[in-house]
Structure 1
Amino acid sequence: MTGNEEATTRAVAQGTFDLLHPGHVHYLREAATFADELHVIVARRANVTHKEPPILPDHQRREVVGAIDTVDEAHLGHESDIFVPIERIEPQVIVLGYDQHHEEESVAAALEERGIDCRVERAGPRETEGEGELLSTGDIIQRVLEQRG
């Protein structure tokens, strides 16, 4: 690198991203503001244990997330170690979603334990913009079942 070049900063966002909705888009757009590049790690179905497993296959969720304009690269999560892609991407910041179950302090401690120099931020909420708007995959599924089930 010459003296006139600046290093590219990378942010990582992560999630299940099943049935993509405006809340996801808000999260990814906000995460992109933290760095020059946004890398997104899409959780593998087998690793989703804190809620119902995703409806869509892993590769399809990664493909849809990768099509969002603010996402520079979408990755599938590692089969057994969630920190492997983070070690490979080497981000300067991890941006957690507004309502993700992870606690910033726990993630920061795990990063430090592994020697990963990266700060942890939390995205803000997306305000609803109209009556009936849904910002949760679970709520979308429930509405489909109510109206079409």
Structure 2
Amino acid sequence: MIRVVATGTFDILHPGHLYYLEESRNLGDELSVIVARDANVKHKPRPFLPEDQRLRMIRALKPVDHALLGDLHDMFRPIAEIRPDIITLGFNQHFDEEHLRQKLRERGLDADVVRIPGYPGSLASSSKIIERILNTRGPPDPTGSHGEE
């Protein structure tokens, strides 16, 4: 059995996320997804959705066999427990593949690292979706009104 691990924040779930997970699942027999902990997301703005909700959404997706939250202190701990054959990275994830391979080898993990190409759609990232919402609907009204009277 070929085990695949995909990782990500998965904030504001969109077609690009689904594409990444489908392509990851196509590489093996079992897909485990590690969802980033809120406290560990430091390379971009904090997620809108709390980690437990993001995890629940990922668990509900058809390509996903298992989903879990990442470790608060050691990102490699869940990978060591799963012992995947392949780790996939999204097109815009900030990992350097060779550095990741080296860190895996240091821990005795022999997983291939595969970068999944980007989804061809125009709204393939949470930041693009947020930008489009703000451009078409404007910033939120501080009074909480939605323009209704």
Is the structural similarity TM-score above 0.5?
Answer: yes
Alignment-derived partner of residue 135 in structure 1: 124
Which of residues 63, 71, 79 in structure 1 aligns to 2:72?
A: 79
Deviation at 1:140, TM superposition (A): 1.1
Please report how far the alpha carbon of residue 23 of structure 1 lies from its aligned counterpart in structure 2 after TM superposition: 0.6
- The aligned counterpart of 2:38 is 45
Aligned to 1:5: none
What TM-score does the superposition give when structure 2 sets the normalisation length?
0.89
CA RMSD in angstroms, aligned pairs only:
1.0
The counterpart of 2:104, out of the listed 92, 102, 111, is 111
Q: Any stretches of 5+ residues in structure 2 without a counterpart? A: 140-149
Query: How far does the alpha carbon of each residue in 1:58-116 deviate from its partner, in whole angstroms, 9 at most, with x for none?
Result: 01001101111000011100011100100111101101111211111011011001111
Kindly report which structure 2 residues correspond to 1:1-149, keeping only aligned pairs within 5 A, or say none.
8-128=1-121, 133-148=122-137, 149=139
Deviation at 1:33, TM superposition (A): 1.1
Distance 2:135 2:119 in 1: 25
1:53 and 1:108 map into 2 onto residues whose CA distance is 27
Overall identity of the aligned pairs, in %: 48
State the secondary structure of the residue aligned to 1:11: strand
Q: How many residue pairs were aligned?
A: 138
2: CA distance, partners of 1:119 / 1:135: 25
> Where do 5+ consecutive residues of structure 1 fail to align?
1-7
Q: CA deviation at 1:125?
A: 2.0
Find runs of 4+ consecutive structure 1 residues off by over 6 angstroms.
none
Aligned to 1:28, what secondary structure does the other structure show?
helix
